[in-house]
Structure 1
């Protein structure tokens, strides 16, 4: 099982009044990593996969420890834990080599923007996602 690795820069504006990255900002980090991951099959590679849109149906997030601002990026590792006919679940860890700051998951539903409704996962998308499929939860 492969993991998608995304190096996410921290911005000064990510901090809150307590001097650490605000909890809401972590959702932006997850979004950046998810978009980078899902658009590996984007039209630039000649594939229509995931280009029609997708929507987030659910987020779950566990804040493990505070992250303070620094110049080095934080790593967001992403992988797939579940694939159904019309949704997928992506798991994440926001971390450094020595510690984890956040563990999270997102249920994503492919969406047909033109028709205004959810759609099925294509065979090409499923094949791509299966490379990142790990049905075992991350070790705490």
Structure 2
């Protein structure tokens, strides 16, 4: 397996429901925030300081769009003040103009995943209004994080 990106995402008070745990929709928001950080801001070794994120080499006007998501909840996600969730992300597939990011979301370090997630991303060229073919440079950065798909219980 390639590298894994890990980040901390702080839950917000508005994310919890009356029972004190994070609402299922907000768990997806936490994962999406981690995905965005991974793709746009993660530091890659050996690159100049201004080159951040797995999509740093994408053309101007190219962004990622979510094509589909799958999530399974494996445990309760209780809100604990000042204790961020831990998201570990990696890439499971790189296609012609799309790629898949997987993640495990943990409530605490060393704990079992509370949620397992997979998200298909399409690179979109806004000027051309079409899918942007993944360049060799972007493909190489994505493949540094290439690993196995998560195991779903289905």
TM above 0.5, one fold?
Answer: yes
Match of 1:44 in 2: 50
- Secondary structure of the 1:38 match is helix
Runs of 4+ in 1 over 3 A off after TM superposition: 40-44, 136-140
- Aligned twin of 1:130: 143
Q: Is 2:134 aligned against 1:121?
A: yes
Instruction: State the shift of 1:20 in Å.
Output: 0.5
Superposition CA RMSD, Å: 2.3
Unpaired runs of 5+ residues, structure 2, are 44-48
Of Structure 1 and Structure 2, which has the larger fraction of its residues in helix? 1
Q: Is the 8 A contact 1:50 1:110 kept in 2?
A: no
- 3-state SS of the aligned residue for 2:113? strand
Q: What stretches of structure 1 of length at least 5 have no aligned partner?
A: none
Q: Shift of the alpha carbon at 1:112?
A: 0.4
**Superposition deviation, residue 48 in structure 1:** 4.1
1:1-140 alignment, distance < 5 Å: 1-40=2-41, 44-45=50-51, 47-49=56-58, 52-70=62-80, 71-95=82-106, 96=108, 97-135=110-148, 137-138=150-151
Q: CA deviation at 1:54?
A: 1.2
Scaled by the length of structure 1, what TM-score is found? 0.89
- In structure 1, distance between residues paired with 2:57 and 2:148: 27
2:151 and 2:4 map into 1 onto residues whose CA distance is 12
